[in-house]
Amino acid sequence: MSVSEMFAALQGALGQDQDIREEIRKVVQALEQTAREMLTLLQGVHQGPGFQHIPKKCQKAREHFGTVRTQMESLKTKFPADQYYRFHEHWRFVLQRLVFLAAFVVYLESETLVTREAVAEILGIEADRERGFHLDIEDYLSGVLTLASELARLAVNSVTAGDYSRPLRISTFINDLDSGFRLLNLKNDSLRKRYDGLKYDVKKIEEVVYDLSIRGLNKEATVGAGGEK
């Protein structure tokens, strides 16, 4: 084989690779648009009247996840099944965003932490690597850390809306989350940096709870909550 023939073959391989990446980008753009629509919808809970409409907003978000599952099915067909990590960077960010959105919806519905397996089911992908297109553990953890930041913001806005019990429940949840992350030996630099930001979320929520305490509103919240969420 001559040099020109060798490079012609290489160009053919590069062209195929570029075609795959372009097809992946198209689907990822659609996923990003769906994620933006869901985020815009869920941001409404931070506004005063938004707390009254949480169930309705969660229901609408669940409908958007139907679109996500369809888009994920399309994405799975755009690259060889055994080359997940070769193209992972293309969808890593949007997948982490979708994990956060799923975790936020589940928290708003039940005030619990969604499992990785449950998120994978919501998104229409696998939890186990051996079964194909899956939810990587680090992507799941990144999405959960984004949830912590969102809940810190929700704690502040809850007080503004006159909901004094919600910050207390958020504080308990975030402290449990922090304790869980402390059990992990994180080696990934990006994930480690994001985890370092969790302490600021914990501090922010503690300040909200402390403010409620010195104003005597924490007792009112405990009595007024009556066990309701």
State the binding site for Mg(2+). 150
**Rounded distance between C-alpha atoms, residue 146 and residue 81, angstroms:** 29
Write the single-letter amino acid at 124. Answer: G
Torsion of CA 171, 197, 190, 32, to 10 degrees: 70
Long-range own/partner contacts, residues 50-53 (CB < 8 A, 24 or more apart): 50/161, 51/158, 51/161, 51/163, 51/166
Q: What is the DSSP string of 13-57?
A: HHHHHHHHHHHHHHHHHHHHHHHHHHHHHHGGGGSGGGGGGHHHH
Going from the C-alpha of 224 to that of each of 49, 124, 142, 220, the distances in angstroms are 19, 40, 35, 6
Q: Summarize the annotated binding site as residue ranges.
A: 150
Q: Are the CB atoms for 90 and 24 separated by under 8 Å?
A: yes
**Rounded distance between C-alpha atoms, residue 180 and residue 140, angstroms:** 14
